[in-house]
Amino acid sequence: MRPHRKTLLALAVAAVAIPAAVAVIPSAQAAAGPDLLPLTVTNNSGRGEATHLYVLGVNGGKLGYVTEAGTFTPWTGGANPPAPAPDVSIDGPADGASKTISVPKGISGRMYMAFGDKLDFRISQDGGLVQPAPWAAGDPNSEILFDWSEFTYNDSGIWLNSSQVDMFAVPHAVSVTGSDGQTAVTGELRPGGRTAVINAMKADTSFGGLVQTRDDGTVLRVLAPGKGADRGSFDPDYLAPYIDRAWAAYTGAELTVRPFADQPGQVFKGRTAGDVMTFTDATGAQAATFTKPTTAHVWGCDGNLGAPNDLVVGPIARSLCAALQRTTLGTQAVEPSTDASTFYRNEPTNLYAKVIHEQMVDGKAYAFAFDDVANQESLVHSGDPTAIGITLTPFE
């Protein structure tokens, strides 16, 4: 089974979760990669502020942080209301420089990068971490320019991705070098790509409210539509007309879902009756049912599109959510569509995801939770890594 971004949500407790890019999959193979994997952060941003790095995640079922040398330490000292976390920042590289830190095997989490001020983290009474959420009113990090990448490193190797699932902020590329000496890179914006994304959002009356700008004129981020809706700066029912049409399209026609690219014979057939779409398997037995989702369910790939970590309901739900995000559902007989030229062609569409993908050098991005459907995600992986990298690229 191909790993995917949302698996660690099973570990979530309110704001405590640190979702990572991929599943933590037990491996029967021999351990690959060093116990401490070098992570080199290169600052080509062109910005003069100090940078601060944080490596945070889950290791052995415990939430904690990683030092520059690669030591994992669980959080302690939580309270109700959540208390300020200790300063576990790592001094990042100045513009034009690099900094190498170590990532221990067995961790899944995030590496935050912040410009200027340090980030404000809080620890709850049960040891959970309250992370920056600039889409929430009163978040102390809302005026800080920051972003993160997500990773899992275990005996099966390393998975590392950039993420725009919640917001688009700091341009950066991710890379991995394997034992064969080959380096894979993704997540790099085209020249002028950050400005192009921001301008496209500002030019659209529906999406303009997603752009957050500091008093000094710095554009801090573009919120994803779901986060904008949470904040009150985006129409919470934006996709409703499209969802209605897409759902109704299969009242008189059959939808075929082939969720596994490597298992083309695994097929589910769907039909809509009222607000419910019912799927049957190859034997004709009922396999799953889905009630028509709301716009919020589509943005979050949750609610009526909740995807359990199984081999039937979850894969169908992932395919449906990706199809609704890309506005292919209702116009395709087979999902998921693997032809990117069919994406984002129906209105109203997810302009946020569309433009971000367009501005990536390789067209790959994690603009929503299941953007890995049809391999559209900005993810690098090696089963036998020797090093990984994050490059902060120019703000242009």
Q: Are the beta carbons of 54 and 65 closer than 8 angstroms?
A: yes
Query: Is 166 noted as a catalytic residue in this protein?
Result: yes
From 95, 117, 126, 166, the catalytic residue: 166
Decide if 150 is catalytic: yes
d(CA 225, CA 356): 13
Of the residues 49, 95, 139, 150, only one is catalytic, namely 150
Instruction: Tell me the C-alpha distance between 161 and 13, whole Å.
Output: 23
The catalytic site residues sit at: 150, 166
